[in-house]
Structure 1
Amino acid sequence: MSVSEAAVPGEEVGRVKAKDPDIGENGLVTYNIVDGDGMELFEITTDYETQEGVVKLKKPVDFETKRAYSLKVEAANVHIDPKFISNGPFKDTVTVKIAVEDADEPPMFLAPSYIHEVQENAAAGTVVGRVHAKDPDAANSPIRYTIDRHTDLDRFFSINPEDGFIKTTKPLDREETAWLNISVFAAEIHNHHQEAKVPVAIRVLDVNDNAPKFAAPYEGFICESDQTKPLSNQPLVTISADDKDDTANGPRFIFSLPPEIIHNPNFTVRDNRDNTAGVYARRGGFSRQKQDLYLLPIVISDGGIPPMSSTNTLTIKVCGCDVHGGLLSCNAEAYILNAGLSTGALIAILACIIILLVIVVLFVTLRRQKKEPLIVFEEEDVRENIITYDDEGGGEEDTEAFDIATLQNPDGINGFIPRKDIKPEYQYMPRPGLRPAPNSVDVDDFINTRIQEADNDPTAPPYDSIQIYGYEGRGSVAGSLSSLESATTDSDLDYDYLQNWGPRFKKLADLYGSKDTFDDDS
């Protein structure tokens, strides 16, 4: 038999079978492993359908550790006839050889996990540690190492692919991250599918690179008093410090004043030797009118190697207090105002200022409203003479290019308005008692008829003068009534037809007689 070193527990290795000459091949037989060097790695069971012994793997085997095993298997009858018990024993043994076959296995790390250390602020390229893996196969293929970048997104580390040495790529800060966890892959160079993975934890060792600072934004208060009042033994404020470094680099903080003001006449600092200190006043007689705020520099040092220190500023205010030492006010301005003006007077002054501001705002608003523009907007101007002349066409004869009735009545937009400057027809009868002249026309009736038509026409303008000027021109029988050409010598106006309009127009006919008549009279 043979078994691969890649086989898993429970996998069948092989079978054995025993024959009973008395009851035939269908007799009931049981199998057991009674001896051998593989009793802990293999087991045997009975297949009652085929009466075979099935050898199975109990634990994984390793070709590189042991390549062959030997088992002593016993087969026995299940049912023995008492009449033949003296002919026993009714069992037999056989030796089973099992060979272990080599398989291509992934590399194996020498340790299930690794822990390395590196100091913070170490230069790039500092060696952190090494991981080591080998190929368990007999071929002993070379190994290649890589870092799982999903566990090192900031790329703090690099690894030598040949020997597994891990190095830093940039300085590390313990105050940001004290532990870094990455994973390293080991794969066979000739078969990248065979790879193993191991976790690596890297601890960043602390270096004393942070100076201690105030643990909180402290502020002290002192009551103003006279020179004869005894000083209090209570501290104005108790301060403590905080350090981002590890406690190994700052077991105790030391508080003091800077050397240049070690003999400060106003305040002093007493170290309590328990990482706290008290600030005390050296004198009395503080006054808000002279100085209401003091800035006291305090030096804090740690116990690291080398020690780190920083200068922090403590603010101390001079305040007004009651007889029991309770704070009333810490502002010098408020103290001065209280001496001369009451709260009611301050409120009254403030109210007057607000009223004056409101009056000024109202006055400015009214002045702006009065300054209205003198120019009338075009949509508010009801005069239409400018619109008429701006929209004229190519002269008086171009009367159909623009219809003014469209601007006056929307009903005239879609319809066509015929010209009404036609010559009156000779269809009117003369009035009784008058002798009609040849080709005479009753002008009175003609004018009344035209007036009535214009009044009843919904598309006509609301005034007659615009209607007459809108449709008169050189194309009309009546001609132009414009006086622009009256002074010209080449006027071609002809008023001879006035002679045919009767006695009422005789005066006009004499004034505007024919050109030949006028020349003869002159």
Structure 2
Amino acid sequence: MAAQRVAFLASLLLMLPRFGEACVSKSIDVTVPSREIQKDQVISKVDLECCRKGTLQISTNDPDFAVKLDGSLYAKHVLHIDRQRSFDIELQDSVTSMQCTIHVRLVFQLNPLLLRQRHGRVRRAVFLRRQKRRWRPLPFSITENDGGPFPKFIQTINSEYQQNYTMVYHLTGGGVDTSPKNIFKMDPKTGKIYLLQPVDREEYPVFHMTVMAITIEGYSLEDPLPLTVKVSDLNDNAPKFTKTEFSANVVEGSAVGTIFLKLNATDRDEPNTPRTSLRYKILLQQPDSKYGRLFSVDEITGEIKTKSDKLDREEWDTYTLTVEVRDMEGKSDGLFSKTTVVVHVTDANDNPPTFKVTQYTITVNESVSEIMILRIPVVDKDLANTNASRAVFTITKGNDDGNFKIVTDSETNDGLLYVVKPLDAEATSQIPLEIAVGNEVPLTGSSATRQTASVIVKVLDIDEGPEFVPAVKQLWTNENVAKGKLLGSYTARDPESKSSDGIRYRELIDPADWVTIDAKTGAIKTTAVLDRESEFVKHNKYNVTVLAIQDGVPPRIGTGTVVINLNDVNDNVPIITNDHLYICENGNQQFVNVSAEDLDATPNSAPFTFLLSDSPPEIKKNWLISEKMGSYAFVRPVGTLPVGYYEVPIMIQDQQHRGKEQILKIMICNCPNNENCAGKLASGSAVLGGMGILVMLLAALLLLCLLLAAVALYCGGDEKKKPALYPETAYHQSLIVSNEEGGGQQDKNLDALGIPLTLKDNMVTSQYYDNQETRMGQGPFSTFSHTDGMKGTSSGRIVSGNELMNINERDVYRETNVTTQYSQADMGSANLTTFESNTLSRRNSHNLMDVLRSRVEQVYEEEEQQELGMPVDYHQDYRIEGAESVNGSVGCYSDARENMGLEHLNSFEPKFGTLVSMNR
């Protein structure tokens, strides 16, 4: 025990002087002899005199320890320390107000017996010492790409404890045992560090490692030491451009100093050193220019700019530059690399378009429009198909009336001159035009002005048809005017003579047949009551197209439009639109919505007045009108009415108090499952029982039997073979002639003849003729004459719009050879086409012809009854040549078809399928 006390006191004596310099250190280690410290036991002493200028304020951040004014560090109560412990001593001088923090770490004393066994002697224990720098100055560096020899010594790391203990050193971290491995190694006995191979700074600029020093017994007397090794840079990397080739565009004629490209280059060497200080330079320009170097480069920023304003795409559109970048601030000993810059000179509108020909003379017929009369080519040196070369034409003189327009052909870039409004040779026979040409973008870098060309347009006089003045005639009248009322007149005149003599008029398009026009005076009168609410009236306007015909060879025509503006008359009353309504007795809506409409216009229509009838008196007692909303109102029962059907008379009047009493039918019913009355009635009426279906089938069978019996009685019951009405060759030998006495009748009911004629876009098609004739008129006026072996002769006149037609039909049945004649005459703006055609008649049975002839006779008889008016006394005689009579029973024709020799019908072409089916 005595020996232990002596050793403890000796250790305390050794501790005290070692802390005389504690104030100059920011950290101290205090070695305690045991894990248990008694109350007020001084474990260390800190010399504070070197830090004191005035009075010191001393404190600790550990409540278990305190410091006296003389620097003694003691425990405030009994402590048991089972682990490493640390705390801070805070010092503040009252004079200088300086603050200082001393970090204290408590460490345990090594076992002296264990040390003695290992080393053969016991060194004097050091319980408290000032921490000094035990390592070599850090960090240190190595040079990249060192040439060796390897391993090459670079540094030694030693611990102060090496004087008293046998230490073993270990090196870990990047470059040793983690990637990259095997760059460094350390001698565990001496602490020497060796470099094993060259290092590339651009790949590994710095290494972070850790050195550990432990005793041979395994005690760690030192904290792990961070070791940083920096790799010094050499100029071993040449700068490189970010691209192997750069491309840029610059507009021709750009001003000097126009920047159009910035080069980028990088150097892997250490930044912010001369080894990465780059300079740019243009070495070569291809092709050369007569103006010298056209481009320059900023040696520091790498910006390429124009050095001259003489760039001309038409002279050369592409330049190739060779550019160098060099480090070491561009000095000759610097490393360098090169790149290629391709400069494309883009087009600017610096070349105006020019006319190939600057003077033109052309001839144009008057009255033509929407036709191209001239193509004007131009030349532009700028890049094709760009806004700098696409031509834009303008008529600068001579087009005051807007008769012409000029556009650009997108494919050829030519100017296309059009006549858009008819010219008048009587007004002017020659029109001088001036046409200018430019581009879509303004000219740049040039003082040239737009070039012009002159065009002389000579107008040829053509005999034109009559023209209406004005082209659209406005007339006003009230609807419902009496028949025969004069609405006005509409006349045309000859454009050359300005006279209306010899011009006849007729209506061309009259959708509702409401008007007629006097053929000589052009007076327009009504032929029917005009109705503003008619489907033919749009926006209170009724349009009629009038035709003017001027006699001549060929005849000439013109058209005009009459717009009849109809003023509304209160000729309609409001009408209920929904007169069958339903009310659910147990529903939420105990009213019906009654709506009405009036075809008249304001003020002869809505808002309406809804009134209940005074008769019978029960109506107003049981019903009430509420919430009138202009065109509808709500009708509701007063109180609760029994389920049933009610007829409610209601008067609806317009704003002029014109109306009539109407019956509103209302059903009040019980609606189970929220089903309304209408749905209930519909669902009930949709059910048909089995008996009902049976009765319907029996009735259908009975009707069929009655029809069969009637047919049998009508056609006779003789089962004998009926003789053929005609010999098998009758349709080859009989010549049927129809003579007509008198002047003939002008047929105005073409549709009654049963001859389908369709007119579409100046085309006439007769669908039932053997040799179907279709003729496309090339103008607004044409006439035709058609002779057919089956239907006879058709003649008429077709006007533009296919509205004017005059056709005579004669029943002539004969066979003839095909003869077709066409004649065409020029009518100025219209072409007159006349054609006549005689066609081969179809082979057909006389029975079929008899059916068709009977149809024609019926039509004429109907016309006589209607007193269509014959020019003279009319008598028609039908005479038949041949052995057999064509009169026969049409009704029983179907029964005799087996004995009539109709096999020839199988040889007809498909287009006669309808007639064949009629004969069968």
**TM-score in terms of structure 2 length:** 0.24
**Larger relative helix fraction:** 1
Does 1 or 2 have the higher relative contact order (CA < 8 Å, sep 6+)? 1
**TM-score in terms of structure 1 length:** 0.40
